[in-house]
Chains A and B, each alone.
Chain A
Amino acid sequence: MANDKVISLRIKRQDGPKTAPYWEEFHIPYKPNMNVVSVLMEVRKNPVNLQGKAVNPVVWECNCLEEVCGACTMLINGVPRQSCAALIDKIYEQTGFGKQITLAPLTKFPIIRDLMVDRQRMFENLKRVKAWVNVDGSWAINRGPRFADREQRWAYAISRCMTCGCCQEACPNVSNKSKFIGPSHIAQVRLFNTHPIGEMQKEERLNALMLEGGIQECGNAQNCRQVCPKEIPLTKHIAAMNKETIKYAFRRWRYKDSSGQ
């Protein structure tokens, strides 16, 4: 090898969902402009650990490679972020060149293998809060009304959420002790309740947001806001939905009768 500079990796591995985790170190020849995904690809090409032993290649997920799918999210030096967007040179700018980089799977999701976790829970919860616009009905909605410009701006920012799980990872109230659906989903309800057609199912979403594991589980630690790679102001959307759910709770009670509405 012409180049003797190496990238030193320490990876938290786990052979299966139920087996014990262990740490393994790898050295990869340094090249400029690498990111964590390309480093992991090098590991896959030549899966030999620091002790020189041939091991199973490290498993991880990735898809879009441009920070829009969220599949490659993992803990990089303890911080949840997308490995495709984690540039090695940028990391070294902060830690110093050649400093060992640790990679670990997200801790709030079941581990499938190595760095690959099962994020299904987030998708189930998106269904629970009906985070979509209903267009299939018994009558034609046609194009429907348009978003007002002033709402469109902040709503667009929420629509960039890729269900990556960073905010869920950082939230102290998302844990196996609670069923909290997490910050991202509260923002999604705000998005679809603001959408001119989505608004027609507003109550259903508010209702879902107040069920077990709903918005009430937030305790305002505000970590979610800090770690979101899409810089969605989650705390603002949570506070706004706090108000909406309380208003809705009163309304639901005042209108309640045998007709159910």
Chain B
Amino acid sequence: MNEKSNFLIRRIHSLLAIIPVGLFLCVHLCLNSASLLGGEDGYTWYLNVIKFMKSAPLVWAAELIIIAIPILVHMIYGLWIVYVAKNNVLNYRYGNNWAFYLQRITALVATAFLVVHVILQRFLEHEPGAVLESLALTLQNPLYFILYAIGFLAVAWHFTNGLFTFLISWGVTVGDHSQKVCRVISLGLFVVFACWGIAILSVIGGFIPGFGFENI
């Protein structure tokens, strides 16, 4: 019992990925969807949401406790998990083995994406209008748009496939049937997240006109 074991940290790693990190991802996407609201006023809606979030009391404490620390713990131990695996998709070409491999590839892409995303959107600009402007200007460049989209797709895969593995890791889905059903649901969720995120990015980058972003 006193012997050293990574059981606890491994389960904490798994739990943190859902609560709060996965939940935060969903909230984050919902808030960013303000840009899709109100036709021409999408820009204004989005700006107001950013202003509101920035002015909420104790927002720095929430950022630290709900977002930064859990993501960092998940990320740092996650990098160790990525290192430990000896991937073998070329010899064992099963769907779930590819998903396992992609979970690790997307972990690395998500790490790079999150570092860039947080520096650009959280630390370089602080005033709401400037945050939004720098984001829109970045996304207007097709190259940055594609890189951003890849980063987001990686996160989306990582989260939705993670839901599938989470349910197994906690012994919720046990037999083949429930695991297969959840595999299909997780793939479906990936498609939903992918379309949703790319739509937000396209609107902010001005690729889908009519939401008030194309004039930035």
Which residue numbers of A lie inside 8 Å of B, CB to CB? 78-79, 170, 172-175, 177-178, 207, 210-212, 214-223, 226-227, 233, 235-236, 238-246, 249, 252, 260
* Contact A173 B84, CB 8 Å, known A216-B10, A220-B96, A252-B1: yes
Q: With A221-B96, A239-B168, A240-B171 in contact, do A173 and B7 touch (Cβ < 8 Å)?
A: no
Knowing A221-B100, A223-B88, say if A216 contacts B7 (CB, 8 Å): yes
**Residue B215, interface by CB 8 Å:** no
* Smallest Cβ-Cβ distance to B98: which chain A residue: A221
In the complex, which residue of chain A has the Cβ closest to the Cβ of B169? A242
A175: B residues at CB distance < 8 A: 84-86
Of the 9-residue stretches B125-133, B174-182, B198-206, which lies at the interface with chain A?
B174-182
Cα distance, A245 to B5, chains bound together (Å)? 13
Alpha-carbon distance A173/B103, docked complex (angstroms): 13
Smallest CB-CB separation from B92: which chain A residue? A223
> Which size bracket describes the interface of B in this complex?
35 or more
Contact B85 A172 (CB under 8 A): yes
A sample of 16 cross-chain residue pairs with beta-carbon separation below 8 angstroms, ordered by A number, consists of A172-B85, A172-B100, A214-B5, A214-B7, A217-B6, A219-B103, A219-B165, A220-B96, A226-B94, A236-B174, A236-B175, A239-B168, A240-B171, A242-B168, A243-B174, A245-B7
The answer to whether B11 touches A207 (Cβ under 8 A) is: no
CB-CB nearest in chain B for A260 = B1
**Cα separation A221 to B83 with both chains bound (whole Å):** 15
Q: Is the CB of B171 within 8 A of A223?
A: no
Q: Which 6 A-B pairs have the closest CB atoms?
A: A243-B171, A221-B100, A216-B10, A222-B96, A175-B86, A242-B171
**Assembled-state Cα–Cα distance A257/B8 (Å):** 19
Question: Does B53 touch A at the CB level, under 8 Å?
Answer: no
Q: Are A173 and B171 in contact (CB under 8 A)?
A: no
By a CB distance below 8 angstroms, the chain B residues around A252 are 1
Q: Taking CB as reference atom, which chain A residue is nearest B165?
A: A220
Say yes or no: B170 contacts A246, CB within 8 Å: yes
Q: Is the CB of A211 within 8 A of B3?
A: yes
Name the residue on B nearest A214 (C-beta). B7
Q: When chains A and B are docked, how far (Å) is the Cα of A78 from the Cα of B101? A: 19
User: Does A246 contact B97, Cβ atoms closer than 8 Å?
Assistant: no
A233 to chain B: which residues have CB within 8 Å?
A: 175-176
Q: Mark B82-111, 1 if CB is under 8 A from A, else 0.
A: 011111100110101101110100000000
Do A216 and B11 touch across chains, with their CB atoms under 8 A apart? yes
Q: In this complex, what residue of A is CB-closest to B161?
A: A220
- Contact A219-B7, Cβ < 8 Å, known A233-B176, A238-B168, A244-B171: no
